[in-house]
Copies of this chain bind each other. A is one copy, B any other.
């Protein structure tokens, strides 16, 4: 893929200062961009890097200083325009049809535009929509329904009966539909509570590599429209994850958790069972949620509470040695005063 700088300028409606014919073969960071690559500078702070770099062209703000000898493309919002350029370089998914070493059940129902990689397995009665791509080694279980324009990564596993909407991406190694973790102690052993529910993943959801979403004990575990989930995340049985939620890597939830729309979870955060996190709430990285989080709240810590309070408490803890020293000094001073006062009392005439 390659574009003239002129083509790129047109796409982002930028104002070019420099050579419009130069051929751009890729994008890169300001530090690393080479002679055939375009990059961007977010502010004047990066002037020296722009001036000294090798990049074929640099996307900058309207008021960025002139840089003689550099091809500059001026736009109102360099970061956003650059993202548009990046999209020009995304390789289109090449649909390849059904690989002869894939294993497709006779009773599966595949749109004729579906692609399925080598050694992928599609079980009985599965239903796969138009333009969906199933990578090599992926497993699509019995009775699974997948919508249109989805991408299921290599060696991902979608177990029996899972429902997947349109434009869903499930990355490599993710397992969707494992049994919820439920046991009852009967006399002398843990007895498995049957896990009869399913998982429903709505449109435009993305689930990262090696993440797990467990099926519900009854009913469904649901991940709603537009939610984005990173790698190695664990979503437990009967969770209801709202729309446009962001969940960073290694997050873990317990059973029956409810998450409101647009909530954000930092990496490695987690939440105890049956709790809810409100809309637009933000849970900091590595935080441990053990009580409900209000809509819009910003929490952090182990256990999680108002981020401001956690950092205030951390500051107070840091001053503990001084506090202890002060108290000790006061103790000494108190004793000295006690003695002085006692001495004074003894010197005064008794009542």
Contacts and interface: CB of A to CB of B under 8 A. Distances in A.
A250 interface: yes
A184 interface: yes
Contact of A218 (B28, B254, B324): B28
Contacts of A201: none
A320 interface: yes
Interface string A84-114: 0011011000000001010100000000000
Interface stretch (A41-49, A68-76, A171-179): A171-179
A337 B153 CA distance: 75
Contact of A288 (B206, B285, B337): B285
B340 A345 contact: yes
Contacts of A347: 348
A250 B211 CA distance: 11
Contacts of A183: 228, 246
Contacts of A313: 317-318, 320
Nearest to A214: B231
B190 A226 contact: yes
Contacts of A120: 119
A348 B340 CA distance: 12
A148 B80 CA distance: 42
Contacts of A209: 157, 175, 178, 212, 214
Contacts of A228: 181, 183, 190
B210 A210 contact: yes
Interface residues of A, number: 105
A137 B123 contact: no
B337 A344 contact: no
Contact of A270 (B179, B285, B337, B338): B285
A155 B177 CA distance: 14
A348 to B, nearest CB: 6
Interface stretch (A2-10, A13-21, A59-67, A328-336): A328-336
A35 interface: no
Contacts of A12: none
A238 to B, nearest CB: 8
A247 to B, nearest CB: 9
Across chains A and B, which 3 residue pairs bring their CB atoms closest together, nearest first? A103-B118, A178-B209, A316-B320
Given A141-B154, A183-B228, 10 more contacts: A32-B219, A86-B194, A101-B101, A117-B121, A155-B155, A171-B179, A181-B228, A209-B212, A248-B254, A341-B344
